Structure 1
């Protein structure tokens, strides 16, 4: 089976546009077919929004963005595609027809995926001649930021199709969740549907406004859901005795008539108007695109915070960044870290605080260590590199919102020591700081220096050999200038 290089999008709305943006930013060429007259404008706006978000979120060098094309027919769009993502309206008969057309026009080994949020894959693929290469790949909005994608095959989907899809979606920074049994709504939407039904009743019965319902989630349980979900949170609520105690203590409450899960309030015009008016009041003067950007910024902040804990969606982000670092070109200073100066990095002078330059160099060092195999497994074995000396030179200023990147050169290394030279540059190429570091490989349990593992030394040696032709930095080894 060929690797996925070229993707096709059938239906370029909110979900299809989000897919297109993620594929493009991950370096894949994308061809889109959508007959709507405004489709290209809307999709290009979404790609711009997604590019803004990824520059804030991803702290590793991104691959060159793929090329975006628009096709005049479905057949033209899918003809050369290795993966086709169908994101047509959520109507079974429409999807059956479109998937059948895709099946006839696509390459024999192309993966065909549907973004359906709840329709059964066996039913929507019923008219396909080769349904073994079809599966549901259900994402969540915004697709270019949220990592979850639910994968669900139909009765005739081949196991290797699921395996190929898992590998591909993981390679573009997503968390593939295999739904092993066909079920309406899959997993996530069934949970969301239960919450949505109860939320509608609370508004319908005058218990709460739409804003109050949202506040109940975003200031409470929603924050916990971001990193632990439901079962793990309830396990903690059971104390040291765990889930068994929680179920014994709170399980009987499930028999009380607290929810109306099987009933839905009648969606009369008056009730819909009530919800719409309250929703407009909640959003106030915030425009649609402004709200989208605010949503993205909040998600970025949460995911970056979770990355620092190597937990939940943050662990997926960290893994994707490490993957991008491993595929960076060699034979030159390594670009291992990039970012944009956030508000919390600004000091009383309106410039980036001195300590943040050390932090940036530290992130670049962490990325290099990941490249040579100093991962969680190595830490578990009791080995790590410790920084024993650092020297920062401040050459220029960075201000709020400035984009930057680092380059890293391996100056020297042996069995125990590693000497690195980082440069911090603004995106316009201006060098703003340099950082020189000496690291020592240690046995963390014995608290002493020790030789690095052979495989670590080999990877480090390969990188150093690739950089052998680089000039020695004139400032390397420089002490404080004033005696």
Structure 2
């Protein structure tokens, strides 16, 4: 599912939206009067092109076409999705919507990245209020999946369902907020934590670094995979959530927090926070901090993928739609992907064990191609690798696009042999080869046996086709 998206406002958030659409195969049209917009979005795209593909085991779709336009009317013409990310001023947003709706398709979704305004406020002076919804993302938009989709009674169910389908197709998680409220859901939690942090700094209790350490070494990791209530349910032990509430509920009456009070952000407090933040992270540029953030997010979300949990489950579901349909070749393009950051080691290149992982993935793809797929394995049959010989010819680094080309060099009876070449897409250099010998196995007896006739026929046909290569 790909189409044309218009991005109105090309800052950090607008650039992130542009990257998310573009890297999922959409054509993207950008309007931003800032003369630096092309450069700024280009830098966001550089980060996104490096980061997003690392989440997946298959290549993302070919990029769509990116274009910049001098007027909003030109940018939105024919667009199915319009994402507004202009500054947080209500009158400005309303004026933008009036211009958009003069020129955009009446069936297009107009989503606002606003973190604070309710959709009813945005719809207030609109020609077609039913088109406008809040689609509030989280930075970086090209990696973090949560989108708060906030709607009103004016939005028809067809538009809402279509918006959900589009966002899901981009690998995003649309959290449908059916009852609007200022700042939606997630930012209200962030505001509460932010207020308490300001008091802790103002009162000299903690520094910016100590507060960040309390989050990233403790509850931040738990929240990343369990959220708030599931975390506390576990804390209640075998008795569950009711026991937790009974045990810890009384502390809500204690004066632990100052959430109903806001410290005055005086020049002195603002400078104190800025000085502490400079001491904490000032040795790194913003681009370096972004790359550090992206690398950490990729590694954490890939770990959650292995457990099929939270954001990891979402990536697995999105990836299922990215699985390529193989062609007989020769050769068979059995794998095509980006090297993720967690596949590299202390030498700064891909660890040798990951070459085996990639060639194993290539063999799995060939097994599926010949009919030895999940259903075949569930029925009690599979291929086991009996021997493999890998030659390491050149380094591979995080972010590089690689492709595996495979030949079936032997396919008779219970025997299946494949020869794989891993190549760098940019220049075609062969980075490694693998000669892999597999035996067909009955999973109940755990002994070798002949494949079922339809699988054997496919293997024999590929071996004959690839023989001349």
TM-score (norm 2): 0.87
Structure 1 position 204 matched with structure 2 position 190: no
Aligned mates of 1:217, 1:141 — CA distance in 2: 18
Aligned to 1:49, the other structure's residue is in SS state: helix
- Provide the C-alpha distance between the structure 2 equivalents of 1:193 and 1:293, rounded to a whole number of angstroms: 25
Partners of 1:96 and 1:453 in 2: CA distance: 65
> Secondary structure in 2 aligned to 1:262?
coil
Cα distance in 2, alignment partners of residues 120 and 46 from structure 1: 28
1:162 aligned residue: 160
Give the unaligned 5+ runs of structure 1: 475-483
Counterpart contact for 1:30–1:66, Cα < 8 Å: yes
Matched with 1:481 is none
Aligned to 1:394: 391
Question: Do the aligned partners of 1:204 and 1:271 also contact (CA within 8 Å) in 2?
Answer: yes
**What secondary structure, in the 3-state scheme, does the structure 2 residue paired with 1:263 have?**
coil
SS where residue 183 of structure 1 aligns? coil
Q: In the alignment, does 2:179 pair up with 1:184? A: no
Q: How does 1:398-417 map onto structure 2 within 5 Å?
A: 398-401=395-398, 403=400, 404-408=402-406
CA distance in 1 between partners of 2:184 and 2:372 (Å): 37
In structure 2, what is the Cα distance between the partners aligned to 1:358 and 1:67?
A: 35
SS at match of 2:466: coil
Residues 343-386 of structure 1 deviation map (CA, whole Å, 9 limit, x = unaligned): 765588x87554332211223345667887966xx699786846
Partner residue in 1 for 2:5: 7
- The corresponding residue for 1:340 is 339
Q: CA deviation at 1:106?
A: 0.6
1:185 and 1:35 mapped to 2: Cα distance? 27
> What's the CA shift for 1:86?
0.5
Q: Find out whether 1:471 has 2:458 as its counterpart.
A: no
**Alpha-carbon spacing, 1:426–1:288, altered in 2? closer, same or farther (3 Å):** same
Shift of 1:53: 1.4
Write out per-residue CA displacement over residues 77-136 of structure 1, whole angstroms, 9 at most, x where no aligned residue. Answer: 101211110111112222122122212211122121111112111220122222323321
Moved more, 244-253 or 79-88: 244-253
Between 1:91-100 and 1:12-21, the stretch displaced more is 91-100
1:389 Cα deviation after fit:
2.8
State how 1:18-417 maps to structure 2 within 5 Å. Answer: 18-326=16-324, 330=327, 332=329, 333-340=332-339, 342=341, 345-346=344-345, 352-365=350-363, 385=382, 387-394=384-391, 396-401=393-398, 403=400, 404-408=402-406
CA deviations over 1:214-252 (Å, ceiling 9, x no partner): 111011111111111111111111122222222222122
Per the TM alignment, residue 412 of structure 1 is displaced from its structure 2 partner at its CA by 8.7
CA contact (8 A) 1:9 1:85 kept: yes
* Residues 228 and 182 of structure 1: CA distance in aligned 2, closer, same or farther (over 3 Å): same
Q: How many residues align?
A: 463
Report the Cα distance in structure 1 between the residues aligned to 2:94 and 2:210, rounded to whole angstroms.
40
Structure 2 partner of 1:478? none
